[in-house]
Structure formats: structure tokens, C-alpha cells
Structure 1
Amino acid sequence: MFDETKSPYYLLGEREGIQKLVTTFYSLVSQDSLLSPLFPKDLTETAHKQTQFLSQFFGGPPLYTEEHGHPMLRARHMPFPITDSHAKAWLACMERAMTAHKLEPELQNFLLSRLKMTAYHMVNTKDSERGENADTV
């Protein structure tokens, strides 16, 4: 059962567990026809930053802030056209990664509910306005 007294960071296996989750997640993103064009071909740096951010976001050490400053997620993502469809696809990849890592359903639901708020906060473009020649995240 999901122990709400422990941080998600701890329950995920701390930095190593989050790193494994992020690796699985980006392998799914790289295969997703909607998401892959938004990201660079080499996802090494992207995965590194995501591991740092999720460690911090899930109650671990402030790795992202220590190296890059305040996350300012919306501002950092603003140059890229992110639609509701992108947010939904991003969350679907994360859910598949969590399922692959056999997270307890209660923990997975809790994490996805937190990530859902963040994912939809990044939306800055209507699906009908998305350009085909967008830069990458």
C-alpha cells in the first residue's frame, strides 16, 4: 500500500529509481510520433534535467535548482508549441513508464495527478495552431 508518510522520491527509489523511470519514459517519447519532433535526437541532457527536476518535484534534493536555478517550467517551455494533445501524450508515456516499473497503483495515481497539473500548465498553443516546423524542447 502507498505510504503517504514517505516522499514519492523515496518510494520511487530515490535518484537511481527516478533515473530508471526517466530512461524508460524517454525511450517511449522517442517512439511517439507526436512528441518525438519536439525533442532533440540525443535525449541525454533532456533526461538528465528531467531526473533532476523529478527528484526535486517528488520531494528529494533540489538537484535541478542547484544546477540550473528556479525551474520556471512554463517560461522555459514557452518557445515550443505545446498543445493539449502533447500534454496528453506526455502523460500517457509517463503512465506507461510507471506501469513498466510496476509502481503501486496508488502511488502511480498520486504521481500522475501531480504531473497532470504540470503537463497541462505547459500548454500554450491550441491543437489547431500547432506549426509543423517547431523547434525542439
Structure 2
Amino acid sequence: MGGHEAFSQLVGEFYRGVAEDPELRAMYPEEDLGPAQDRLRMFLEQYWGGPSTYQEQRGHPRLRMRHMPFAVTPSMRDRWLHHMMSAADTLALEPQLDATLRDYLTRAAFSLVNSEEGQAAPQDR
């Protein structure tokens, strides 16, 4: 997938979009997006066969569990995907790798939806 440099670029571009998206930005409680950026980069590197730094520092990814505190609605999923796909557009991956990455990101985003529009996050219900 391009290694550390590609994932750093992908995640950096993604979080530039998040920073300019008030609704999506509100899902990130930290004032500085840097720690979230580091976590996502480490997760993606590990998922795609790189170092296991994410698991060493944070434990098993448990993506659904880690996202349960947030109301991930279909519109929030779509906002996330918009910024992530825009970030993927900046990578120079060969077509097969690009398609594989985009497929994974799309499936992951759809799997994290846990609320309908206008509902509280699951732990708030």
C-alpha cells in the first residue's frame, strides 16, 4: 500500500478535511487532531502488514467498540468517506491497490454505523 509514507499522506490529507468539516470535527473530542491522526496511521499500517505499534500501544483495535461512544450515522459515515476518498485521491497507488484500499475503507465505514439520523449515541440511549 505504499508503507509509512503513503499512510502518513493519506491520514494527513484526511484530517485536513476533518478539520474543515464542523460536523465531523465535533466527533473528535481532542482539541488537537494530532493524536487521532497518529492512531489512525498506526492502525492502517498494522492492518496492511506493517509494524504492530497500534496494538502494542492501544491493544486490539476493536473498531466497533471504540466508536460506540459516538453517534455514527449514515450521514457521518458519508462525510468520513468523502474526506477519506479525497485523501486516497492524493496517493499514487497502482489501480489494484487503490481499489483494494477503497473497498476496505468503504466496508469499514459502513460497519461502524451505530445510529440513525437524529439519534443519540448507543451509550446515551
Residues 68-105 of structure 1 deviation map (CA, whole Å, 9 limit, x = unaligned): 11011111110111111111111111110111234344
Gaps of at least 5 residues in structure 2 are none
Match of 2:23 in 1: 34
1:71 is aligned to 2:61: yes
Measured on the aligned residues, the alpha-carbon RMSD in Å equals: 1.8
Which one of the candidate residues 47, 50, 54 is aligned to 1:57?
47
Structure-2 change in CA distance of 1:108 and 1:34 (3 Å): farther
Is 1:126 matched with 2:116? yes
Q: Using the alignment, how far apart are the partners of 2:82 and 2:95 within structure 1? A: 15
* TM norm structure 2: 0.86
Q: Which runs of 4+ in 1 moved over 4 A?
A: none
Is 2:46–2:53's contact at 8 Å kept on the other side of the alignment? yes
Give the conservation status (yes or no) of the 8 Å contact 2:6–2:91: no
State whether structure 2 residue 71 is matched by structure 1 residue 81: yes
Cα displacement (A) at 1:130: 4.7
Q: Cα 1:108–1:33, aligned 2, differ >3 Å: closer, same or farther?
A: farther
Which consecutive residues of structure 1, in runs of 5 or more, have no partner in the other structure? 1-7
In structure 2, the CA distance between the partners of 1:41 and 1:103, relative to structure 1 (3 Å rule), is: farther
Tell me, yes or no, if the aligned pair for 1:91 and 1:112 is still in contact at 8 Å. no
User: Counterpart in 2 of 1:108?
Assistant: 98
Q: How many residue pairs end up in the alignment?
A: 121
Indicate conservation of the 8 Å contact 1:87/1:119, yes or no. yes
8 Å Cα contact 1:83/1:130 also seen in 2: no
Q: What TM-score, normalized by structure 1, do the two folds share?
A: 0.79
Counterpart mapping for 1:42-53 below 5 A: 42-53=32-43
Q: Which amino acid aligns with 1:127?
A: E
- Could you tell me whether the CA contact under 8 Å between 1:53 and 1:64 is conserved in 2? yes
